[in-house]
Structure formats: structure tokens, C-alpha cells
Copies of this chain bind each other. A is one copy, B any other.
């Protein structure tokens, strides 16, 4: 039987209150949607950011409004991480379902704060060695009108004591978090906070004692704490992006929200369209005038946009597209991450056309790639897609973004003066680098025709075979032209190892952690994270060729990334797929096990 701290019962074992010092702590708060799990995690994150920790924050919510299980997670570490710890150290559970969900992942010495209002926890759900703290959240909450906020603040008060935050720190966090509330609205939260603290007192967890200790990491450089969605949108804005049209869809809506807030002050135009077809076509209309334009969506919405993306490729219209990948197929699991739009992004639409697909691996890259994509779309006059995964809605700490690194490059844009010097202006001039000088509507003397039909240099529809071939070749030369500037893969680990691991996007973090652990099993790996998904760059094929065997780790049932890499010419017999498609993110523990299983079989 696990230890139970009765509501009014034996005080907590003082031995526990020595304060276990930690540089890596994973916390989960869960209950029904609306229980406020996200808020508690946000508050704790804020406090620990203040103490200089690296924070990874994620959530796991049902695609329904109220009701449905919702869980929020946070991991605080001293080195940056982008996955949860294997084990949950602290769980705040607002219902039994929350404990059930966490059950298999609770650390042996975990602390479980359980809402005991509706009865006790059934047996055998938590480790024998765990400490259970029943708290009648709901019963306490009925005293207050704003129940959810109440629960949050109460929970946070208790939590502060458990992880050894000072009461001032905690109150300060609460104030900053709710700074938009009026004094009257805020007051009950403070009361609830105190309630949580006095509950802790009652249990013997005084202001100076705590179960965990997370010492302040001392003064630090400024860092950025952000989701991939916001970071990419910020990159777009910083690189001169000024037009965005979108249609709400989980988990892409946040890109629109960010821009709706931050773009208008610098003249940006943000539109919520009537559907995805309108969204991308509004952006196309704007892009035709030379504005840097973007849209964002998720799988089902991107699928609707494919004709239009191909049109940008054909008609040579710059366009930035963010795909916040979610678990498919079809509506699938809107709130769950996946990496299964790789096929769609890299190879879809009718016919052959130039496009570029980037896959940032962390929020910093989301920012810089967002800016890079914005410029690149102008330089190459074609669609540039950012393929995000769980990165899109998870928050991470990252080195402070450097706005000075962002330049604005208009590519081959012609001004009126440039045009005046020309004998003739042809929108689709055949050039060696495949990119035609571009004069946008409004430019005197450079009237031209833009079309998605095959055309001659003037933009007049033509199906003349020689013209057609010249135009196809020109368009494909663009990709050759920009190819050298595309982000190469990030490689790390043991360069001498005959075993390689490939993964994209958010998986870098969990691969790094797994490899570190596998080292203790005597295994070493060379790791490779492509940052450009399309075109597939030579370095990825070369990586596969230069290793005896390569694990391609991905979140897709069919192994779309492996498929892509094989199609680029990497030898199939060296590739082993490690696939995950249960809607959850990889944990290091799981990945280590998967690799070990295959290594042992090998």
C-alpha cells in the first residue's frame, strides 16, 4: 500500500521533507477539460522559468470543449529537452481517470495529489512507494464562485510548497499570470492560494520545507519561451510577412491568433477566411502584388489547399504555408501530434512542380526557418512549406531569438526603374537559374500575364511542346538554384558508429536523450536530422549509405520519412523503421526499448 496522507490525518513523513534535489522533474496535471490543468502547469512553468530552468511544456487534450480528459505536462531540466521524462514525478489528478492515464508512468517515489471530493482512489493504480495526498478540491471549491480558477490557485499553492517555491515567489507568479484580472476578480485567487498553502501547512509541508528542491540556477542570459507556432509566425513577421489568411483548425489556429495580435500594428493584414480554399487564395491574391503572404492549417485543411499550392508552383507565386501536422487520416485525432503529412507535403498536387518543405526541429528553428521561408518564397517564387509536428503547440525554452539575424530579401523583384531599362519585359523569361525577374502589378510599363496553365515567356497560354519543356525545365532549375542554400541536416553523436539514427522535427530531443542512455548499454550512434524534407538533400542519402544500418524514427504508421529517403536513392536494406502512431509523443524510455529490441534482433 502506498502512503496516504489523510485529509485530516497523520502528517507527512518528515523524512520526505528533506527536499530531494532535482535537475529534471516531470509533472502532470490532469482531469476533465475545463478543470484548469493547463493553468496549473502554466503557473508552475512560470515559477521555474524564473528559477532559470529549461522548460518543456505540452498537453494532451481531447478535441472537445468541456469534458473529455485533458492533461498538461511540464518538464523542468537544466539542459534543454523536448520530451517528457520517462516517469512522472508529480501528478495532480482531478479525477480517477487522470490517475488511470498516468498509472503506468508514475515514478516509484512520485507524489500524487488527488481530488478526493468524490471518494477515494481505487487500489493498485499508483506505485506502493508513492505518496498520495488527497485534497478535496471540488468540495473546497464549492465555497467559491469561480470554481475553476479556485482549483488552479489552490493547487498551485500546494504545489509551490511541494517543489519548494517561496510563498512570495508563488504569489508573484499568480499576480503576473492573472494580471489582466480586476482586483475583485483576482482576490479569490489569492484566497485560494492561501487555502492551498494552509492545506500544506496542515499536512506538515511548511513554508521552509518541501518534498523537492529545485535550486535557483542563478543569473542567465535572456531566453525565449514559446511554441513552434508562435515562433514560426514571429519569423514570418520579422522577415517582412504582412499578409496572412487562415481558417480555424486545431492545432494551427494559434498562428492566426499570433498574427492577428502582432501584425496589424506594422500594417499587416490578417483575415479569417470562409474556408481553406479562400484562405490560401486570399494569400495568393496578396502575394501576386508582391506582399509576403502566408497561410497555415493542419492536415485536412492542407489537403483542401493542394490544388492551390500546385498553382503557386506552376504560376510561380511566392507562398509560405505552415502545416501543423496532427494525427490523421482525415479528421483523425485533431489534438494529437503526428508526422504523417510528409507524403502530402513533399509529393502531392497534380503534376510536377517546384516546392520546398522545411522541417524545423526546435522553436529556435521555427523562428529562423519561418523567416528563411519567407525570403526563400520570394527568391524562388514558389511555395515554401514548414512542416511542424508536436513542436507547433508545445512550449520550449530556447536561446533568445536574434532579430538582427533576420534580413529581408526580395529576390529578383524589379522596380519601375529596373523595368524602364529593359527592352521587353516577360514575366516568365527563361533564365539560367530558372528564376524570372518579377514586376508586380502597379509597376509602370511591366504589364504581364500570370497563369497556372502552361505558357510562353509572356505568360500567354501555350501547349507548344518546345515551350512546355523549356518552362518545366526552367521551373525545376529554380530548385537547383536555391538548393545550396537549403538547411542541411543536423548531425551529432558518434561519427565513427556504424549505426545511424534519422528523425525529423521534434524527435531530435528524444533521440538525443535515448542515445545518451544507450551509451550505457555500450551502444553508440550517429544521428542525423534532415532540416529540409523536400528536395531530399544528398547528405541524407549519403548518411544512409555510409552506415551499416540506419534507424528511421518517425511518427507515422507507414513510415513516410523512410519512404521518402528510399525514393531519393538510399539503399532500402540499410533502413529500419521505428514507427509510432498512437497519438502520443515518443519518450526516451520507449525509443531506447525500440532500438534495443531491433539491435538485439540484428
Contacts and interface: CB of A to CB of B under 8 A. Distances in A.
A62 B582 contact: no
Interface stretch (A1-9, A115-123, A209-217, A297-305): A297-305
A274 to B, nearest CB: 13
Given A307-B300, A348-B343, A584 B452 contact: no
A105 B469 CA distance: 19
A567 B564 contact: yes
A329 interface: yes
A350 B331 CA distance: 9
Interface in A559-602: 560, 563-564, 566-573, 581-584
Contacts of A567: 563-564, 566-567
Given A333-B468, A567-B564, A582-B469, A327 B351 contact: yes
Nearest to A303: B307
A557 B557 CA distance: 29
Interface in A315-350: 315, 325, 327-336, 338, 340-341, 343-344, 347-350
A431 interface: no
A461 B69 CA distance: 13
Contacts of A338: 351
A518 interface: no
A474 to B, nearest CB: 11
A330 B352 contact: no
Interface string A470-488: 0010001000000000000
B332 A453 contact: yes
Nearest to A466: B582
A349 B454 contact: no
B333 A453 contact: yes
Contacts of A330: 307, 310-311, 313-315, 349-351, 353, 452-453
A218 interface: no
B341 A351 contact: yes
A497 interface: no
A563 B536 CA distance: 12
Contact of A560 (B302, B303, B352, B573): B352
Nearest to A62: B463
A50 B130 CA distance: 90
Give the interface centre of A329, A569, A572 by most chain B CB atoms within 10 Å: A329
A325 B350 CA distance: 8
Nearest to A307: B303
Given A330-B353, A572-B571, A472 B303 contact: no
Contact of A333 (B300, B463, B566, B572): B463
Given A303-B306, A331-B314, A463-B62, A468 B352 contact: no
A558 interface: yes
A459 B476 CA distance: 45
Nearest to A354: B329
A563 to B, nearest CB: 5
Contacts of A442: none
Contact of A304 (B300, B307, B453): B307
A269 to B, nearest CB: 25
Contacts of A415: none
Given A468-B583, A476-B557, A569-B566, A454 B332 contact: yes
A468 B582 contact: yes
Contacts of A299: 350-351
Given A311-B331, A332-B350, A347-B348, 19 more contacts: A299-B350, A300-B310, A303-B307, A303-B310, A303-B350, A306-B348, A314-B328, A325-B350, A327-B351, A327-B454, A330-B349, A331-B452, A333-B454, A333-B468, A347-B560, A352-B556, A352-B581, A465-B584, A472-B557
29 contacts: A63-B453, A299-B350, A299-B351, A303-B306, A304-B304, A306-B306, A306-B348, A313-B329, A314-B329, A325-B350, A328-B349, A328-B352, A329-B351, A329-B353, A330-B350, A330-B453, A331-B451, A332-B350, A333-B454, A334-B453, A340-B351, A340-B352, A347-B563, A352-B560, A463-B583, A465-B584, A468-B583, A566-B567, A570-B572
Q: Which 5 A-B pairs have the closest CB atoms?
A: A328-B351, A299-B350, A329-B351, A330-B452, A314-B330
